[in-house]
Structure 1
Amino acid sequence: MLDYDGTLAPFCVNPADAVPYAGVVPLLDRFMEAGHTRLVIVSGRWTKDLIPLLGLKQSPEVWGSHGWERLQANGEYDVARINQGALDALVTADDWIDQIESLGGRCERKPGGLAFHWRGLDNGQVANIRERIFRNWRELNLGRNLGWHDFDGGIELRASGRDKGDVVRAVATEAGNRAVLGYLGDDLTDEQAFKAVPSGGVSVLVRPQFRPTAADVWLRPPEGMLEFLTRWHETATTA
């Protein structure tokens, strides 16, 4: 299981520019062609925004919006049911978009959430955006239905009930006890996934600088990540 932004691809001010690191696409194509590993992309992005960036020969399984969406390799698509209170709160938060964009931020709508990005802005702009979002969130008491989630380059207001840890548990259940699971991610939103990897599997923090984490291993991108995936492929091929 692989996170996308910050793991398979570098962060970019414009998310549409975040294509995979050199070497990632041919390596993942080999995974898909060999068929020895169930390849699952787990992202905070809306799946419709992520698929065009992957550029793989075959479509992998993709869980988007932190687990609210699932696009299977055969094309079947499902969105989990979001409670009405969270939907109403997201509609309310949607009204803030003009405010945040006037401060230099970028807003990203997705199933079950609304993300506010400030990557590339100066500290003063970031502070103003964060303060405005927090003030609105607190005054309207949206915390009853939406969680506040910090990530690298912004914050997301998201309906409670799904996170990347739920994705790991779902995949583990489907794969069975004999499967060996791995999860690679970089952000705070990946910590629940790291904690959910079952015994015998491996969780990998992929980022240039170390930070406290529940992951088993820390690797720097892209070299460390590519070496890990290459060794996984070679081991699985000869098993």
Structure 2
Amino acid sequence: MQETAVRDVPPALGNPALARRLAGRRPAVFLDYDGVLSPIVARPEDAVMSESMRTVVHDLATRVPVCVVTGRDRGVAQQLMGVDDLAVAGSHGFDIWTPTRGSLSDAYVARYTDLVAEVTERLRDETRGIPGAHVESKRASVAVHYRLVDPADRDRIAATVRSVLDDYAGRLKLTPGKMVYELGPNVDWNKGKAVLYLIDVLGLDGDDVVPIYLGDDITDEYAFRALRDRGIGILVGDPDDPEVANRTTAAHYALASVDDVERFLATLT
């Protein structure tokens, strides 16, 4: 799989090559949430989508298919967006819902409810004494955020996560993110597979449709790779940000910020 240093990825805004790829075809737009529709914030619950972004996304969704694919719990993502009529794949694509078909994954998610609840309780118990640690419970996974944890204590978070993974070997997998550890059922599923699944079930696999995926995190690389030869991947992130600068990516184009995402989506309407 071909990957490129982030600093060498061409910009998406005003790019004539990208315009040519879209000419005469209908985009189907897949969007990560944090870092794409809302800036990364210290407290996850503060990542509310702006009114202007909400307007742009709403207008776009009246013209082309729009789906949100996020590590967030599906219900939480819908609440933060203030939009409930878009297809959403929460928990890294594990929990899928569409406005026309409802949940496509409830029965599957239910298999892991007890496991996730048990792991969530343990992580809360073992991180309770670490200032700034935040355990986010989701339907299909649990996230341990450490952005607000003192750097001297972050090794304690990592050690706790490793201990849990060891004790649940074979049953859990770790999905790393920006200042967060995500633990979920050890199944072969990710954002890329979720996007391909949505393309199929929503009837978006025609030659007249070009899937576009916008994401900022390591987990979004699954989607960029999945669409490498059949769609367009757009990495969102400041190339001067240390969390981005040292990465390589399978994305075709880049946008530097959430503001640029808003401008780009407006060009698709």
TM-score by length of 1: 0.86
5+ residue gaps in structure 2?
1-29, 240-244
Alpha-carbon shift at residue 80 of structure 1 (Å):
5.2
Structure 2 residue aligned with 1:54, among 81, 94, 98? 81
- Cα distance in 2, alignment partners of residues 228 and 87 from structure 1: 38
Alignment of 1:67 onto 2:58: no
Deviations 1:188-207 (A, max 9, x none): 11111111115342101101
Structure 2 residue aligned with 1:117, among 145, 149, 154? 145
- Cα distance in 2, alignment partners of residues 171 and 100 from structure 1: 36
5+ residue gaps in structure 1?
234-239
- Give the aligned residue type for 2:196: R
The corresponding residue for 2:254 is: 218
Maintained 8 Å contact 2:95/2:140: no
- Cα distance in 1, alignment partners of residues 216 and 107 from structure 2: 25
CA RMSD of aligned residues (A): 2.1
Maintained 8 Å contact 1:183/1:202: yes
Alignment of 1:124-143 (within 5 A): 124-138=152-166, 140=167, 142-143=168-169
Alpha-carbon shift at residue 165 of structure 1 (Å):
0.8
Maintained 8 Å contact 2:123/2:135: no
The corresponding residue for 1:193 is: 223
Alpha-carbon shift at residue 75 of structure 1 (Å):
6.8
**1:168 to 1:80, Cα distance in 2 relative to 1, 3 A:** farther
Alignment of 1:77 onto 2:103: yes
Alignment of 1:171 onto 2:191: no
Give the 3-state SS of the residue equivalent to 1:41 in structure 2: strand
**1:200 to 1:136, Cα distance in 2 relative to 1, 3 A:** closer
Q: How many residues were matched structurally?
A: 227
The corresponding residue for 1:207 is: 237
Structure 1, 86-95 or 181-190: larger mean CA deviation: 86-95
Structure 1, 89-98 or 142-151: larger mean CA deviation: 89-98
The corresponding residue for 2:65 is: 38
**1:82 to 1:222, Cα distance in 2 relative to 1, 3 A:** closer
- Cα distance in 2, alignment partners of residues 98 and 25 from structure 1: 37
The corresponding residue for 2:49 is: 20
**1:182 to 1:96, Cα distance in 2 relative to 1, 3 A:** same
- Cα distance in 1, alignment partners of residues 169 and 110 from structure 2: 14
Q: Using CA pairs under 8 Å that are at least 6 residues apart, name the structure with larger relative contact order, 1 or 2.
A: 2
- Cα distance in 2, alignment partners of residues 87 and 73 from structure 1: 23
Give the 3-state SS of the residue equivalent to 2:249 in structure 1: coil
Alpha-carbon shift at residue 143 of structure 1 (Å):
2.9
- Cα distance in 1, alignment partners of residues 77 and 231 from structure 2: 26
Give the 3-state SS of the residue equivalent to 1:63 in structure 2: strand
- Cα distance in 2, alignment partners of residues 114 and 133 from structure 1: 11
TM-score by length of 2: 0.77
Give the 3-state SS of the residue equivalent to 2:169 in structure 1: helix
The corresponding residue for 1:102 is: 129
Alpha-carbon shift at residue 51 of structure 1 (Å):
1.1
Identity %: 26
Alpha-carbon shift at residue 186 of structure 1 (Å):
0.5
